[in-house]
Amino acid sequence: MPVNLNYKNEELGKKELILLAAIEMFLEKDYYQVTVVEIAERAGVGKGTVYEYYSSKEVLFRECFSYCTNSYLNSFIEHLNKTSNVKKTMRDIINTHLQMLSENRRGIRLLYKERPYNFQELQNWVIEQRQTLLAGITELIKEGIRLKEIRSDVDAEMAGRIFLALNYVVLGGIIVIDEDEVRKDQIDSMLDILWHGIGEIQ
Amino acid sequence: MPVNLNYKNEELGKKELILLAAIEMFLEKDYYQVTVVEIAERAGVGKGTVYEYYSSKEVLFRECFSYCTNSYLNSFIEHLNKTSNVKKTMRDIINTHLQMLSENRRGIRLLYKERPYNFQELQNWVIEQRQTLLAGITELIKEGIRLKEIRSDVDAEMAGRIFLALNYVVLGGIIVIDEDEVRKDQIDSMLDILWHGIGEIQ
Amino acid sequence: MPVNLNYKNEELGKKELILLAAIEMFLEKDYYQVTVVEIAERAGVGKGTVYEYYSSKEVLFRECFSYCTNSYLNSFIEHLNKTSNVKKTMRDIINTHLQMLSENRRGIRLLYKERPYNFQELQNWVIEQRQTLLAGITELIKEGIRLKEIRSDVDAEMAGRIFLALNYVVLGGIIVIDEDEVRKDQIDSMLDILWHGIGEIQ
Amino acid sequence: MPVNLNYKNEELGKKELILLAAIEMFLEKDYYQVTVVEIAERAGVGKGTVYEYYSSKEVLFRECFSYCTNSYLNSFIEHLNKTSNVKKTMRDIINTHLQMLSENRRGIRLLYKERPYNFQELQNWVIEQRQTLLAGITELIKEGIRLKEIRSDVDAEMAGRIFLALNYVVLGGIIVIDEDEVRKDQIDSMLDILWHGIGEIQ
DNA sequence: CATGAATGAGTCTTCATTCAT
DNA sequence: CATGAATGAAGACTCATTCAT
């Protein structure tokens, strides 16, 4: 599982170096099992230096989490903004999501590992992000209804929730938990079910 | 958020008393943020007593987790075993799931909170359980196909994954994250989409 | 290493049963590494029962130690009282000592293992016992001088100290540390040196 | 009982500071009765600092013990290497030994107090050291035989054991247990007995 | 008498954080 | 800016002892 946090290999400042090292560590272990010393070592800096850039371990973790969440969200938002064909947009989102997961680009898997339930503030922020995302997808669904791609009697919000669940749980589950590849026919099946349902046609 | 772990209020042995107290604590906080003293206090026993029954905090956590997972799985299995009408069975599963979640019966929410990635053994066990569950649901879908309730060209495993995702993320998300009730019309919408899809009928 | 603490196998009361079990345990491990539960288990009684007979672990240890020390001392005293030929008495003492060590009769090895430096009172008692023993041996040496078996210009006390050291360290060392048998020729060599010294005769 | 572990009072690093403090504590009390906090306090450092230098209390104890044993052994070895007159060498060894004991230089008394029976590895090491020492002394005795200072029919190994017993138990006993001075006439008596034995000259 | 469930004082150990260099 | 030596708060765990049965 190669971690590819900085694929463009730009010149990195100490601050970002530490951030990326921290993400790698938080991907390997629990928040509580990662020590600041380990992060410093992986970043190749001294222990004290971490505190030059991040006032505490908790703050550092927050930044890691935001960083990853933002990457994730942005890839969604990007697609949502240039929609013309809803079905195609959905497929694009799925593909981008899959690619991020399989490349573990920008530590996307952190979202699957760490649940910052103990940092109330961060938890609230996550919920907010989720709402934004859901709102965006719901809007996409409504656009689909307008474009007559989607049935007009569909509950747009529920459809949005379901679409997110498919991305996050179905695809994520296969890759992160089963540690398997997602085959193209699986995506087709998934989209087929989303589009036509599983019910026998009367 | 009233926790109702022992709603029948039977006589409890010290061992179960401690288990239930621990579940409550693990529901409130991280594994690492819950102290053994707190668990003991909530159970109304001395610190040492916890160790009379559980050899370590880790062991106690495992037992909490198994206890909750078993409750959860059993409720699924129960329904899977007495299927006649697949659609109805699905609805029953959803309802039971919802009820467990809203009553937080038997600490079901623990499954949403804690991910013991650091206890490899437990993690493996969780994955195994998940496979079993998925296999059961896949079988249910296949039964549906045999009974001609479900389209014969549906990918049964994918449909199973989706059904689980809907239960776990859509319903769980509403209750645990949004801390909202799930309305009957939301379930209807969800099942409608699962059954008919969202695609416009050509 | 068969432990033979109660070779006469008389009917034993609970109190003595516990004492002997404790000696066995203290022979195997440090005072601090032996737990009261272990002692109780080995004695085949309940944990609480130990406290019926001995008010604390420390008290129990003292009794173990006294018991062993007394056995040891008595065997010396016995020989010291019926002296006619000093050289023979010395040999008898040595043989008895050896036998006790090799049979580990009455837990004699406890004296080699535990040094209760932390129980000041017990420590004082040990010192006292040692003085008594030394006095007895010194007296034996003086008797030897009177009987003209021993040189009249020998420092009796020093000779006594040396005789004890030979028993305790030379013989004990071979058996307890080297875990070897003491051969008859070794005793002969030892006594030969004690009697004639190692110096070349001018 | 003034402890004089660092009589030259050189500049000490934190690591040695802690070591010497620990030796002092282990001289006063049992391994199990000495707490890490006490050691830290005596060394004038924080509790955590102890762990910067020694990974555990056990490791620290081992180092204390080795440190003391090495000092002790070295003083013997030193003398054994520059022998010309065996009787004189013995007297030198005795004197050095006495001096170390009375000055308690480098925590020599630790060897009399602590018996690390519970640290098997350390125990084995002690036995090994003892063998080395015995071998050295035995060699010295043989040298004495070659030089015709010592009777040729003396059992060299037994004579070695006895010489060690005289040092360790007779002299050590007087100083450490009786807490007395060793007078010159006592040494003379001891050596006299070693050389000529106690037997009446026929 | 005998028991063992219950207890909490006491320890080792970890690790985030500080700060002098 | 960068560092890492120093620190102590915090927590898991042990075990001698008590006491209700």
Tokens in use for B171?
Answer: 């319903």
> Is the pLDDT assigned to residue D9 strictly greater than 50?
no
Using a 7 Å cut-off to protein CB atoms, list the covered nucleotides of chain F: 1-20
Neighbours of A195 (CB within 10 A): 17
Question: Which residues on adjacent β-strands are paired with residue A150?
Answer: B199
Cα D199 versus chain centre, distance: 31
- All partners of chain C with 3 or more CB pairs under 8 angstroms: D
D198 neighbors C154 (Cβ within 8 angstroms): yes
Please tell me the predicted confidence (pLDDT) of residue A165.
Answer: 92
Strand E proximity: list residues 31-60 of C with CB under 7 Å.
45-49, 51-52
Contacts of A161 in chain B (CB under 8 A): 169-170, 173-174
D12-68 tens-digit pLDDT: 789 999 999 999 999 888 899 999 999 999 999 999 999 999 999 999 999 999 988
Tokens in use for C73?
Answer: 């001392």
- Put simply, the chain A residues between 55 and 74 with a CB less than 8 A from any chain B CB are none
The per-residue DSSP string of C42-71 comes to: HHTS-HHHHHHH-SSHHHHHHHHHHHHHHH
Q: What is the residue whose two structure tokens read 């013991």?
A: B116
Say whether C197 and D194 touch across the interface (CB within 8 A): yes
> Is the pLDDT assigned to residue D143 strictly greater than 70?
yes
C168 CB near a chain D CB, below 8 Å? Answer: yes
> Is the pLDDT assigned to residue D159 strictly greater than 60?
yes
Average pLDDT of the segment spanning C82-104:
84
B22 neighbors B39 (Cβ within 8 angstroms): yes
CA–CA distance, B57 with B36 (Å, rounded to integer): 7
Please tell me the predicted confidence (pLDDT) of residue D103.
Answer: 76
Please tell me the predicted confidence (pLDDT) of residue A70.
Answer: 85
C126-185 tens-digit pLDDT: 888 889 889 999 999 999 999 999 989 999 999 999 999 998 888 887 877 777 788 889
Nearest chain B residue to A191 by CA: give it.
B197
Neighbours of B150 (CB within 10 A): 23
Neighbours of D21 (CB within 10 A): 22
Please tell me the predicted confidence (pLDDT) of residue D1.
Answer: 41
D197 CB near a chain C CB, below 8 Å? Answer: yes
Average pLDDT of the segment spanning A84-106:
84
Band of the pLDDT at B7, cuts 50, 70, 90?
very low
CA–CA distance, B101 with B119 (Å, rounded to integer): 25
D97-108 tens-digit pLDDT: 888 888 776 677
CA–CA distance, B119 with B58 (Å, rounded to integer): 9
B137-147 tens-digit pLDDT: 999 999 999 99
CA–CA distance, D92 with D86 (Å, rounded to integer): 10
* Number of alpha carbons in the 13 Å side-chain half-sphere of residue D58: 7
Cα C21 to Cα B32, C26, C107, distances in angstroms: 42, 9, 11
First to last CA, chain B: 47
B150 neighbors A202 (Cβ within 8 angstroms): no
> Is the pLDDT assigned to residue C29 strictly greater than 60?
yes
Please tell me the predicted confidence (pLDDT) of residue D202.
Answer: 57
Tokens in use for A85?
Answer: 């064909």
Band of the pLDDT at A169, cuts 50, 70, 90?
confident
Give B13's DSSP letter. -
Tokens in use for B25?
Answer: 């604590």
Q: How far is the CA of B145 from the C1' of F8 (A)?
A: 66
B141's CB contacts (< 8 A; 6+ apart) are A198, B86, B150, B154, B156, B159, B160, B163
Instruction: Please tell me whether any atom of strand E lies within 7 Å of the Cβ of A37.
Output: yes
Please tell me the predicted confidence (pLDDT) of residue C79.
Answer: 82
Instruction: Please tell me whether any atom of strand E lies within 7 Å of the Cβ of B36.
Output: no
Look up residue A9 and give its amino acid: N
Instruction: Please tell me whether any atom of strand E lies within 7 Å of the Cβ of A36.
Output: yes
Q: Which of C25-29, C39-43, C50-54 has the lowest mean pLDDT?
A: C25-29
Return the closest nucleotide (C1') to the Cα of A55: E17
B159-186 tens-digit pLDDT: 999 999 998 888 887 877 777 788 889 9
Q: Which of A19-28, A53-62, B3-12 has the lowest mean pLDDT?
A: B3-12
Nearest chain C residue to D151 by CA: give it.
C200
> Is the pLDDT assigned to residue B150 strictly greater than 70?
yes
Please tell me the predicted confidence (pLDDT) of residue D77.
Answer: 83
D173 neighbors D181 (Cβ within 8 angstroms): no
Instruction: Please tell me whether any atom of strand E lies within 7 Å of the Cβ of A35.
Output: yes
At A35 the three-state DSSP class reads coil
Please tell me the predicted confidence (pLDDT) of residue B62.
Answer: 92
Band of the pLDDT at B33, cuts 50, 70, 90?
very high
Rounded to 5 degrees, φ, ψ at B150 are -120, 145
Say whether A193 and B130 touch across the interface (CB within 8 A): no
Instruction: Please tell me whether any atom of strand E lies within 7 Å of the Cβ of D55.
Output: yes
Tokens in use for D53?
Answer: 């230098």
Using CB atoms within 10 A of its CB, is residue D197 exposed (0-12), middle (13-18) or buried (19+)?
buried
Average pLDDT of the segment spanning B122-140:
88
Instruction: Using a threshold of 3 CB pairs under 8 A, tell whether chains D and A touch.
Output: no
Give the best-scoring range by mean pLDDT among A133-137, A146-150, C48-52: C48-52
CA–CA distance, A142 with A176 (Å, rounded to integer): 31
Question: Which residues on adjacent β-strands are paired with residue D199?
Answer: C150
C93's CB contacts (< 8 A; 6+ apart) are C75, C76, C79, C80, C167
C151-164 tens-digit pLDDT: 899 999 999 999 99
Contacts of D193 in chain C (CB under 8 A): 154-155, 158-159, 162, 194, 197
Strand F proximity: list residues 29-68 of C with CB under 7 Å.
33-37, 47-48, 51, 55-58
Rounded to 5 degrees, φ, ψ at A171 are -70, -50
> Is the pLDDT assigned to residue C105 strictly greater than 80?
no
Q: Which of B113, B162, B198 is the closest to A159 by Cβ?
A: B198
Please tell me the predicted confidence (pLDDT) of residue A199.
Answer: 78
Average pLDDT of the segment spanning A177-189:
88
Cα C93 to Cα B125, C6, C180, C190, distances in angstroms: 67, 22, 20, 13
Dihedral, CA of residue C25, residue C26, residue C27 and residue C32, to nearest 10: 110
Question: Which residues on adjacent β-strands are paired with residue A199?
Answer: B150
B114's CB contacts (< 8 A; 6+ apart) are B26, B30, B31, B61, B65
Band of the pLDDT at D200, cuts 50, 70, 90?
confident
Return the closest nucleotide (C1') to the Cα of A54: E17
Rounded to 5 degrees, φ, ψ at A2 are -70, 130
Q: Quick one: what percent of chain B has pLDDT higher than 90?
A: 44
CA–CA distance, C9 with C73 (Å, rounded to integer): 22
A158 neighbors B186 (Cβ within 8 angstroms): yes
| pLDDT greater at residue B113 or residue A165 | A165
Average pLDDT of the segment spanning A160-177:
88
**What pTM does this model have?**
0.85
Using CB atoms within 10 A of its CB, is residue A137 exposed (0-12), middle (13-18) or buried (19+)?
buried
Please tell me the predicted confidence (pLDDT) of residue B1.
Answer: 42
What CATH number labels B14-196? 1.10.357.10
A4 neighbors A102 (Cβ within 8 angstroms): no
Say whether D177 and C118 touch across the interface (CB within 8 A): no
D160's CB contacts (< 8 A; 6+ apart) are D134, D137, D138, D140, D141
D174-188 tens-digit pLDDT: 887 777 888 999 999
Band of the pLDDT at A106, cuts 50, 70, 90?
low
Please tell me the predicted confidence (pLDDT) of residue A1.
Answer: 40
Give residue limits of the domains in chain A.
Answer: 14-196
Please tell me the predicted confidence (pLDDT) of residue C116.
Answer: 61
Band of the pLDDT at C121, cuts 50, 70, 90?
confident
- Average pLDDT of chain C, as a whole number: 85
D36 neighbors D42 (Cβ within 8 angstroms): no
Average pLDDT of the segment spanning A37-65:
95
A192 neighbors A184 (Cβ within 8 angstroms): no
Q: Give the residue with minimal CA–C1' separation from E6.
A: B49
- Put simply, the chain B residues between 98 and 117 with a CB less than 8 A from any chain A CB are 113, 115, 117
Give B84's DSSP letter. S
Q: Which of C149, C186, C196 is the closest to D158 by Cβ?
A: C186
Q: Quick one: what percent of chain D has pLDDT higher than 70?
A: 90
- Average pLDDT of chain A, as a whole number: 85
| pLDDT greater at residue C58 or residue D123 | C58
**Sign of the Cα pseudo-torsion (B104, B105, B106, B108, in order):** negative
Nearest to B154 by CA among A188, A168, A92: A188
Q: Quick one: what percent of chain A has pLDDT higher than 70?
A: 90
A94 neighbors A165 (Cβ within 8 angstroms): no
Q: Which of D159, D173, D185 is the closest to C161 by Cβ?
A: D173
> Is the pLDDT assigned to residue B110 strictly greater than 60?
yes
CA–CA distance, D115 with A138 (Å, rounded to integer): 75
B41-97 tens-digit pLDDT: 999 999 999 999 999 999 999 999 988 888 888 888 888 877 678 888 999 999 888
Say whether D158 and C189 touch across the interface (CB within 8 A): yes
Strand E proximity: list residues 91-150 of C with CB under 7 Å.
none
Say whether D148 and C200 touch across the interface (CB within 8 A): yes
Give D174's DSSP letter. I
D104's CB contacts (< 8 A; 6+ apart) are D1, D2, D3, D4, D5, D27
Buried b (16+ CB within 10 A) or exposed e, D24-43: bbbbbebbeebebebbbebb
Please tell me the predicted confidence (pLDDT) of residue A146.
Answer: 92
A71-85 tens-digit pLDDT: 888 878 888 877 678
Closest CA of chain D from C10, distance in Å: 32
Rounded to 5 degrees, φ, ψ at B199 are -70, 140
Q: Which of B165, B190, B199 is the closest to A158 by Cβ?
A: B190
CA–CA distance, C142 with C134 (Å, rounded to integer): 12
A90 CB near a chain B CB, below 8 Å? Answer: no
Please tell me the predicted confidence (pLDDT) of residue C179.
Answer: 73
- Put simply, the chain C residues between 133 and 162 with a CB less than 8 A from any chain D CB are 141, 144, 148-151, 154-155, 158-159, 161-162
Contacts of A117 in chain B (CB under 8 A): 29-30, 113
Tokens in use for C82?
Answer: 């019926």
Please tell me the predicted confidence (pLDDT) of residue A29.
Answer: 87
Q: Which of C32, C165, C185 is the closest to D170 by Cβ?
A: C165
Closest CA of chain A from B116, distance in Å: 8
Say whether C198 and D194 touch across the interface (CB within 8 A): yes
Nearest chain D residue to C87 by CA: give it.
D199
Please tell me the predicted confidence (pLDDT) of residue C39.
Answer: 97
